[in-house]
Structure 1
Amino acid sequence: MSSTRDVDLAHIIDTSPMSALQKRAVALCLALAVLDGIDAQVIGFVIPALSEDWGVSKASFGLTLALSTGAMVVGSLVFGPIADRYGRRKVIILCTLIFSVFTLATALVTSMTALIVLRIIAGLGLGGVTPNLVALVSEYSPARIRATAVTVTIAGMSLGGFVGGFAAAFLIPEFGWQSLFVIGGVLPLGVAAVAMKWLPESVKFLAARGENGRAAQIVAQIAPAAGMSESVRFTQDVPTGSTSPVGALFARGRAIDTVLLWTVFVINFLVIYFLLSWMPTLFSEGGQSASTALLAASLFNLGGMTGALTFGWITDRIGNGYLVVMAGYTLGAIFTGAVASLLGNGPLLLVTIFIVGFGMSGSSAGIIALAATVYPVAVRATGVGWAMGIGRVGSIAGPSVGALLIAAGMDARTIFLLTIVPTALAVATLAVMAARSRRRARLGDLVTVVEQAPAPAP
Structure 2
Amino acid sequence: PALRRRTVALWLVWFCVTFAYYGAFIWIPTLLFLQGFDLVKSFGFTLIITLAQLPGYAVAAWLIEVWGRRATLSVFLLGSGVSAVLFGQSSAEWAILATGMALSFFNLGAWGALYAATPEMYPTSLRATGAGWAAGVGRIASIAAPPSVPLMIGVGGIGLVFLVFAVFFVVAAVAAWGLVEGRGSALAD
TM-score per shorter chain, which class? Answer: 0.7 to 0.9
Report the counterpart of residue 68 of structure 2 in structure 1: 320
Per-residue deviation, 1:328: 0.7
Q: Tell me whether 1:424 sits opposite 2:170 in the alignment.
A: yes
Q: Tell me whether 1:383 sits opposite 2:130 in the alignment.
A: yes
Contact 1:304 1:362 in 2 (8 A): yes
- Residues of 1 paired with 2:171 and 2:100: CA distance? 21
**Equivalent pairs: percent with the same residue?**
22
Among 114, 133, 142, which residue is 1:367 paired with? 114
Per-residue deviation, 1:296: 2.6
Per-residue deviation, 1:297: 2.0
Among 311, 324, 330, which residue is 2:78 paired with? 330
Residue type matched to 1:429 in 2?
Answer: A
Give CA-to-partner distance per residue, 1:285-342, whole Å, 9 cap, x none. 22333333222322332222221121012213x1511101111111111122221222
Residue type matched to 1:417 in 2?
Answer: L
Contact 1:261 1:371 in 2 (8 A): yes
Contact 2:77 2:169 in 1 (8 A): yes
Q: Tell me whether 1:300 sits opposite 2:49 in the alignment.
A: yes
Among 157, 161, 171, which residue is 1:411 paired with? 157
Residue type matched to 1:403 in 2?
Answer: P
Larger Rg: 1
Give CA-to-partner distance per residue, 1:181-200, whole Å, 9 cap, x none. xxxxxxxxxxxxxxxxxxxx
- Residues of 1 paired with 2:138 and 2:157: CA distance? 27
Q: Tell me whether 1:397 sits opposite 2:148 in the alignment.
A: no
Q: Tell me whether 1:353 sits opposite 2:100 in the alignment.
A: yes
Contact 1:265 1:391 in 2 (8 A): yes
- Residues of 2 paired with 1:286 and 1:414: CA distance? 14
Report the counterpart of residue 254 of structure 1 in structure 2: 3
Report the counterpart of residue 180 of structure 1 in structure 2: none
TM-score (structure 2 length as normaliser): 0.87
- Residues of 1 paired with 2:95 and 2:38: CA distance? 14
User: Which one has the bigger helix percentage?
Assistant: 2
State the SS of the aligned residue for 1:361.
helix
Residue type matched to 1:433 in 2?
Answer: L
- Residues of 1 paired with 2:159 and 2:39: CA distance? 17
Report the counterpart of residue 87 of structure 2 in structure 1: 339
Q: What 5-or-longer segments of structure 2 have no aligned partner? A: none
- The number of residue pairs the alignment matches comes to 183
Report the counterpart of residue 245 of structure 1 in structure 2: none
Among 34, 42, 60, which residue is 1:285 paired with? 34
Contact 2:6 2:178 in 1 (8 A): no
State the SS of the aligned residue for 2:179.
helix
Residue type matched to 2:74 in 1?
Answer: M
- Residues of 2 paired with 1:310 and 1:425: CA distance? 22
Question: Runs of 4 or more off by more than 4 Å in structure 1?
Answer: none
Contact 1:283 1:412 in 2 (8 A): no
Contact 1:368 1:384 in 2 (8 A): no
Residue type matched to 2:114 in 1?
Answer: I
- Residues of 2 paired with 1:418 and 1:389: CA distance? 22
- Residues of 1 paired with 2:12 and 2:57: CA distance? 20
Residue type matched to 1:349 in 2?
Answer: I
Report the counterpart of residue 186 of structure 1 in structure 2: none
Contact 1:267 1:426 in 2 (8 A): yes
Contact 1:296 1:354 in 2 (8 A): no
Contact 2:78 2:173 in 1 (8 A): yes
Give CA-to-partner distance per residue, 1:204-232, whole Å, 9 cap, x none. xxxxxxxxxxxxxxxxxxxxxxxxxxxxx
- Residues of 2 paired with 1:264 and 1:405: CA distance? 22
Q: 1 or 2 for the larger relative contact order (CA 8 Å, sep ≥6)?
A: 2
Per-residue deviation, 1:409: 5.0
Contact 2:49 2:101 in 1 (8 A): yes
State the SS of the aligned residue for 1:254.
helix
Matches within 5 A, 1:430-449: 430-433=176-179, 437=181
